[in-house]
Chains A and B, each alone.
Chain A
């Protein structure tokens, strides 16, 4: 069950710069091999250039992104990560996406434990040896790095759009400057999503994980199932 109150993060130096390390696209946690649904959207003709990429990313940010950001913020605030992992499961209908989230969570856990060793990370790894959902691990890693729940929400939300944007550069040969400009244009909305995520995490601290958002993008879930069965693809998801 939910802990009645969140324990304070273990004492450590203030570490705002750790956010740059955690959110760096070169952080070695396996994200480079995943497109966040963009490969399926490109194949279906729904992403053809910068404008449709922006539409796709906006949709993902306000659905999967919001949920991921709230889970990460809650984990960073010290809510029980095993409870949050169950909350992530029920918010992810597609078995293929659940498997991807756990695989990426396990890969992130490996990197995070090497970079920011902490007993709480070791405990979560032991409780979920096959991997916890990636946003939960991201929040726990942010906590181990001395970051705030808002930092964790920003990092989780950013990942949900930066992954598709870089994937589409590879898939379509899209001009990388225009792809990155999409991410910059979404900055204000990302801030807003992170704010909502932190507020939800705050409510969940007293009201339980039912307070966390459960927004979903059905097309992402459906196309993820189809994509997982493709015999030929560039990205793992």
Chain B
């Protein structure tokens, strides 16, 4: 019985994760950004766009929970042309839209690539969620989990799928650590214990160049993607 296309991309999880577009071109690298409400996901996306937009063609998909707040923030700050930013509505379930039923996000990513492409990088920003929020491998190639020091320095110890399995853990707002009594050394040790060899970076996005460590990590992913890998 005909079950699938005769040639399947090795390691793909769904049709949406195929690395080659129908026209034969390699599609944009897709990176998801998740994390709790207020940790700095949108600020990270904005800073990444400002830092990388002269190097690569970037598109952004936001997943606002009940407004267009995040998409509008990015538009207001003019980090990208308006046609490079689109918003998905998630029906009060942000984690469903990035993990369990990724159809709307896949549509949005593909429409961006068709309308504004070719793109090198698409950033998919999740709605603010909890520590269990992770992206489907059918939607993104790699994911970043953004937490902040003001949310409590016990978050890395608590773990959960976001902290434990994300390809990059970002601990943001390090400039606030003295004011909220968070121990950055403790956070770093706990994160290492939870994540093994997976990378962790500490950022203070309000400072000049604060997004640098994240941008460097994205550059590494892009280089690997261009040469055919996903790691």
A: residues with CB less than 8 A from B are 12, 26, 28-35, 103, 106-108, 110-111, 113-114, 117, 167, 170-171, 231-236
Q: Are A28 and B103 in contact (CB under 8 A)?
A: yes
User: Please, what's the 1-or-0 string for B87-116, where 1 marks a CB less than 8 Å from any CB in chain A?
Assistant: 011111100110011111011000000000
Q: Are A28 and B101 in contact (CB under 8 A)?
A: yes
Chain B interface main SS type: loop
Nearest A-chain residue to B1, judged by Cβ: A12
Nearest B-chain residue to A163, judged by Cβ: B91
Q: Are A233 and B101 in contact (CB under 8 A)?
A: no
Q: How far is the CA of A236 from the CA of B105 in the complex (A)?
A: 13
Q: Give the A-B contact count at a CB cut-off of 8 A.
A: 69
Which A residues are in CB contact (< 8 Å) with B90?
33
Tell me, rounded to whole Å, the shortest Cβ–Cβ distance linking B106 to chain A: 7
Which A residues are in CB contact (< 8 Å) with B1?
12
Nearest A-chain residue to B93, judged by Cβ: A32
Tell me, rounded to whole Å, the shortest Cβ–Cβ distance linking A117 to chain B: 6
B: residues with CB less than 8 A from A are 1-5, 14-16, 65-68, 88-93, 96-97, 100-104, 106-107
Which B residues are in CB contact (< 8 Å) with A34?
91
Q: Are A232 and B92 in contact (CB under 8 A)?
A: no
Tell me, rounded to whole Å, the shortest Cβ–Cβ distance linking A109 to chain B: 9
Which residue in B3, B91, B102 is a CB contact (below 8 Å) of A167? B91
- Could you jot down 20 A-B contacts, CB within 8 Å? A12-B1, A30-B101, A31-B101, A32-B91, A32-B96, A33-B89, A35-B91, A103-B107, A110-B107, A114-B14, A114-B15, A117-B3, A171-B92, A231-B67, A231-B68, A232-B66, A233-B66, A234-B91, A235-B91, A236-B89
Which A residues are in CB contact (< 8 Å) with B101?
26, 28-32
